[in-house]
A and B are shown apart, each in its own frame.
Chain A
Amino acid sequence: MIDVSNLVDSENGLVSRRLFADAEVYDLELQRIFSRCWLFLGHESQIARPGDFVQTRMGNEPVILTRNALGEIRAFINTCRHRGNRVCRVDQGRTSRFMCAYHGWTYDLDGKLVSVPGFEDRYYSELDRDQWGLIPVTQLATYKGLIFGSFDADAVPLEEYLGEARWALDYVLDQRAGGTEVVGGVFKWIIKSNWKLGADNIMGDNYHGGVTHKSATMVGHQTGQRFVREQVPNGVQPEGAFGHEGVPSFSFDDPAGQSASRGSSDPIAPTAAGPARERDPRTRLGFTAPLDWGHGLMCDLVPEGQARVRSGDAIGDYYRSTLPEMRARLGDLRARVWKVNFTVFPNASFTTGSNMLHVWHPLGPNATEVWLYVIVDKEAPEDVKQQIRRLSQRHFSPAGMFEQDDMDNWEQSTEAAGGMIARDYPLHYAMGLGHEPWAGEGEVSRRMDTIMDESNQRAFYRGWAEFMSGKSWDTLRQDRQDAPANFGP
Chain B
Amino acid sequence: MRPQTSAPERRSMVSAELQHEVEQFLYAEASLLDEHRFRDWLDLWTQDAHYWMPLRITVGADQTGQEWTQAHENSYFDDDKPMLEQRVAKLETGFAWSEDPPSRTRRLLSNVRVREEGPGQIIASCNFIVYRNRLATDEDWWVGRREDTLRQDDGEWKISERKIFLDQTTLKSKNLSNFF
Contact = CB atoms under 8 A, between A and B. Distances in A.
Q: Do A and B bind each other?
A: yes
Interface of A: 89-93, 183-193, 211-212, 214-216, 218-221, 262, 369, 374, 382, 385-386, 389-390, 393-394, 397-399, 401, 403-405, 407-409, 411
B168 to A, nearest CB: 9
Contact of A390 (B63, B69, B78, B89): B78
B59 A185 contact: no
Interface in B12-71: 53-55, 57-60, 63, 69-70
Contact of A190 (B75, B172, B176): B172
A91 B59 contact: yes
A373 B57 CA distance: 14
A186 B174 CA distance: 16
A218 B87 contact: no
B97 A219 contact: no
A385 B86 CA distance: 22
A184 B72 contact: yes
A212 B93 CA distance: 12
Contacts of A390: 78
Nearest to B171: A189
Given A187-B55, A262-B94, 13 more contacts: A183-B73, A184-B74, A190-B173, A190-B174, A214-B93, A215-B93, A385-B72, A390-B78, A394-B83, A398-B176, A399-B176, A405-B97, A407-B174
B172 A189 contact: yes
B180 to A, nearest CB: 10
Contact of A90 (B54, B59, B87): B59
Nearest to A191: B174
A369 B96 CA distance: 24
A93 B174 contact: no
Query: Which 9 pairs show the lowest CB-CB distances between chains A and B?
Result: A184-B73, A185-B74, A189-B171, A185-B69, A404-B175, A399-B176, A215-B96, A215-B95, A214-B95
B76 interface: yes
B177 A399 contact: yes
Contacts, number: 126
B90 to A, nearest CB: 5
Nearest to B72: A386
A470 B86 CA distance: 49
Contacts of B83: 394
B4 interface: no
B98 interface: yes
Which residue of B54, B96, B169 has the most chain A CB atoms within 10 A of its CB atom? B96
A215 B92 CA distance: 8
Given A262-B95, A398-B176, A189 B72 contact: no
Interface residues of B, number: 39
A186 B172 contact: no
A403 B177 CA distance: 9
Nearest to B57: A91
Nearest to B136: A415
B interface: dominant SS? loop
Nearest to B61: A90
B93 A397 contact: no
B57 A185 contact: yes
B81 to A, nearest CB: 14
B169 A91 contact: yes
Given A215-B90, A218-B95, A404-B98, A189 B74 contact: no
Nearest to A211: B95
B93 A399 contact: no
Interface in B127-180: 169-177
A83 B177 CA distance: 42
Contact of A397 (B57, B58, B76, B169): B76
A220 B176 contact: no
B78 A404 contact: no
A186 B76 CA distance: 11
A231 to B, nearest CB: 29
Contacts of B78: 390, 393-394
10 contacts: A185-B55, A186-B74, A187-B76, A214-B93, A369-B170, A390-B78, A393-B74, A397-B74, A399-B53, A404-B176
A52 to B, nearest CB: 13
A357 B151 CA distance: 39
Given A184-B69, A214-B93, A408-B98, A398 B74 contact: no
Contacts of B171: 187-190, 398
B60 A398 contact: no
B90 A185 contact: no
Contacts of B96: 215, 405
Contacts of A398: 76, 171, 173-176
